Amino acid sequence: MKEVWTTMASMMGVWAFCQSLLHTVFPPELRYGVLKVFHRLFTYFSAYCYYDITEIDGVNTNELYNAVQLYLSSSASSSSGTRLTLTRALNSSSITFGLSNNDRLLDCFAGAAVEWQHVVTQRQAQTFSWRPLPEEKRGFTLRVRKKHKHLVLNSYLDYIMEKATELRRKNQDRLLYTNSRGGSLDSRGHPWESVPFKHPSTFETLAMDPVKKKEIMEDLEDFANGESFYRKTGRAWKRGYLLYGPPGTGKSSMIAAMANFLKYDIYDLELTEVNTNTELRKLLMKTSSKSIIVIEDIDCSINLANRSRTSGNGGGSRSPRRSRGESTAATATAAEEGVNTITLSGLLNFTDGLWSCCGSERIFVFTTNHIEKLDPALLRSGRMDMHIHMSYCSCPALKILLRNYLGVEADSDLSAAAMGELEAAIAAVEMTPADISEVLIKNRRDRRRAVAELLEALKLKAERKSAEQIGEDEEQEKRALEEGFDQLQGNRGEDDDEDDKMH
């Protein structure tokens, strides 16, 4: 060991002598050229190439740096590193892992091994700048073998951007937007006001037939993963859903489940707050991609202008045609007075016109309690592609409600007799999931009492329905007897007239 240390000391002395001789004999310009030549030789013979991704490009933030930081957080969380940075962004419900200063992380893409290093150095004294720069200079250095260079530049970086967008949407809380009255702008210059969307409804808790539920989920997945299909077929990347059925059947819960399933924001469009087709189009332009645009109770939200221009006592004649200038002036006057002048044509263009294609990956959802009141032009494919009937509570939906509110598995925790009574009672009445949920919520702490009161409520509903049916039958019989009596009296009167004539 003593000989080794002696040899190392001698080599270090020789290196120091050569370095001092180099500084004495060669001028600085020549030394710089020699070092540059050595660096080029090292780069030429090296098997790796390096790429620097700085946090700030000039005075602008480098979007690729943020994407790499977010992408590496998913790998850093599962790495064996002993020192990681933890952050939590605004409007985010999850904690993000990251590399510490000057730490390294290995990654693999398509069989190619790459190495990331988070380089942090102190920035030199700044000159005057309109935008002050941070004291630390941050960036990532990517090291990859030269034979994988084209793979990284052509595919790997694009993959990182897509993955970062997906992670950002997954980690960020959903937002629920609503439009301001008259298209007024908020403090950020947008016509939409937002609040965090915290609705807990999911397809797992949604009281609905499982077969129908699975069909809807598969359709949503096909839409979310169908960018290449829509581009190949020349169709706009959007889809429309119509939810119809009686009140209390879960239409709003279905919308919330769709948003939580796809991780989309919701834009709740209140048509009564929109005055003209122009305002409606501007609202559409301010919506983001990967969102659900909802218009609830479309049958009673507005009175479409070009469907209500009737005059006269007969109600069938339309108002006389006006010139373009008169129509525009009338629309402007109506807008100034706060009168809604949205037309059916404007609504159709909103859902299926050229302006509906200004974004991508958007879903339009309409709800109604009376589908027969909607104009057929709204119901065709391309505007409402999938019609979903939200029906009264069925046996499969009842089992889901029992599991949600009581923690009861109908097939194992309830006896066959009790479950048979419930199934027979639910099939005999028309009761909405909201009504059944109310009964279960009141008695959720006592399972037996909840099941008993639910069965009693179902039987009471069946008795009322039977009584109403009997009353309707009696009323029909009475009406039929009255009509028969009137007809008989009329026939007798005709016979008497004929007898008088003969006499």
pLDDT tens digits, 321-369: 444 344 444 444 444 445 567 888 888 888 877 777 777 789 999 999 9
What mean pLDDT value characterizes the chain?
78
Angle between helices 395-406 and 416-428 (to 10 degrees): 120
Q: Which of 30-34, 120-124, 226-230 has the highest mean pLDDT?
A: 226-230
182 or 439, which is more confident? 439
Half-sphere exposure (Cβ direction) of 85: Cα atoms closer than 13 Å = 15
What is the structure's pLDDT at 314? 39
Mean pLDDT throughout 190-209?
89
What is the structure's pLDDT at 325? 45
> What is the DSSP track for 72-98?
HHHHHTTS--S-EEEE--TTB-SPEEE
* Burial 428-462, CB ≥16 within 10 A → b, else e: ebebbbebbbebbeebeeebeebbeebbebbeebb
User: Is the confidence at residue 186, as pLDDT, over 70?
Assistant: no
User: Is the confidence at residue 132, as pLDDT, over 70?
Assistant: no
Tell which residue, 227, 333, 359, has the closest CA to residue 281. 359
Strand pairing category for 310-311 and 317-318: antiparallel
What is the structure's pLDDT at 326? 45
Mean pLDDT throughout 66-86?
70
pLDDT tens digits, 379-411: 888 788 999 999 999 899 999 999 999 888 877
What is the structure's pLDDT at 124? 64
pLDDT tens digits, 478-503: 676 667 656 666 665 665 656 566 65
Q: In angstroms, rounded to a whole number, what is the distance separating the alpha carbons of residues 464 and 475? A: 16
Q: In angstroms, rounded to a whole number, what is the distance separating the alpha carbons of residues 335 and 411? A: 59
Q: Please tell me the chain's helix, strand, coil percentages from 3-state DSSP, rounded to the nearest 5.
A: 55, 20, 30
The model scores a pTM over 0.75: no
The residues near 351 (Cβ < 8 Å, ≥ 6 apart) are 240, 364, 378, 383
The residues near 454 (Cβ < 8 Å, ≥ 6 apart) are 422, 436, 439, 440
Tell which residue, 99, 243, 71, has the closest CA to residue 161. 71
What is the structure's pLDDT at 332? 47
Q: In angstroms, rounded to a whole number, what is the distance separating the alpha carbons of residues 493 and 498? A: 9
State both tokens at 437: 């949920």
On whether the CB atoms of residues 249 and 432 are closer than 8 A, the answer is yes
What is the structure's pLDDT at 107? 86
pLDDT tens digits, 36-70: 666 566 666 678 888 888 887 766 778 888 888 88
State both tokens at 77: 């969380």
State both tokens at 170: 């997954």
On whether the CB atoms of residues 393 and 250 are closer than 8 A, the answer is no
91 or 417, which is more confident? 417
What is the structure's pLDDT at 37? 64
State both tokens at 165: 């967008």
pLDDT tens digits, 282-329: 888 888 888 999 999 888 766 654 444 443 443 333 344 444 344 444
Q: How confident is the model at residue 79 (pLDDT cuts 50, 70, 90)?
A: low
Q: In angstroms, rounded to a whole number, what is the distance separating the alpha carbons of residues 459 and 400? A: 20
CB-CB neighbours of 235 under 10 Å: 13
What is the structure's pLDDT at 493? 60
What is the structure's pLDDT at 335? 47
What is the structure's pLDDT at 90? 62
What is the structure's pLDDT at 293? 93
What is the structure's pLDDT at 168? 77
Mean pLDDT throughout 89-100?
65
Q: How confident is the model at residue 254 (pLDDT cuts 50, 70, 90)?
A: very high
N- to C-terminal Cα separation, the chain: 153
pLDDT tens digits, 422-452: 888 888 888 899 999 998 898 888 888 888 8
